[in-house]
Amino acid sequence: MQFKYPFQVIYNDKIPVLDIRITNKDTDKATSYRAMLDSGAFANVFHSEIAGVLGIDLSKIKETLPFGGVKEAQQMKGKPYVIELMVIQKGKSYKFDSYVIFSDEVSNTGFALLGRQGFFDQFDEVCFNYKNDKFYLQKN
C-alpha cells in the first residue's frame, strides 16, 4: 500500500505535511491533526494540549523524557504515551500503535512532528521526491 502526498510550500520551502487521525485507545477519544514528517526527529512530538483532547492526564504519567533539537540550545521535556495513529488517503488507511512525547515546551501553533521511532519505523519505505514535489509512504 502506498500513500502519496504533495509537499506544502511554506515560506518558499517544501514541507512534508499530512493529516493523521490519532486515538487514545484507553478512552476511545480521537482527533484529526496536521503533522510534519521530520527525519531528524528521534520520536513523535505533539503539544500537550492534544493529550487533553484525547483524555490523557499527563499529570498521572511519572516518566519525563528529555529531548532537543526543536528550540536552539535548549533541552526540553515531555511525557511519553502510546496512541493509535492512522494515516488516511482516498479510501485507504493504515493504523498502528505509536510512541509519542507530549510536551508544552513546543509550539501549540505549529505541526506535530512525526519522527523515526513511532512513525518512520512503521513503514517499509519513506521517500522524499523533491523533483516531483511529492513524498511517499510505502507499507508492503
pLDDT at 76: 85
Range of the domain at 86: 2-138
Average pLDDT, integer, range 103-108: 88
Q: How many CA atoms lie within 13 A of 78 on its CB side?
A: 25
pTM above 0.75, yes or no: yes
Q: Report the 10 Å Cβ neighbour count for 65.
A: 14
User: Is residue 83 scored above 90 in pLDDT?
Assistant: yes
43: part of which helix (H) or strand (E)?
A: none
Residue with cell 514528517: 37
Band of the pLDDT at 69, cuts 50, 70, 90? low
Alpha-carbon gap, residue 112 to 56, rounded angstroms: 17
Average pLDDT, integer, range 12-28: 95
Give the chain's mean pLDDT.
Answer: 93
Question: Looking at residue 51, which CATH number applies to its domain?
Answer: 2.40.70.10
Average pLDDT, integer, range 90-105: 94
User: Is residue 71 scored above 60 in pLDDT?
Assistant: no
What's the structural domain count of the chain?
1
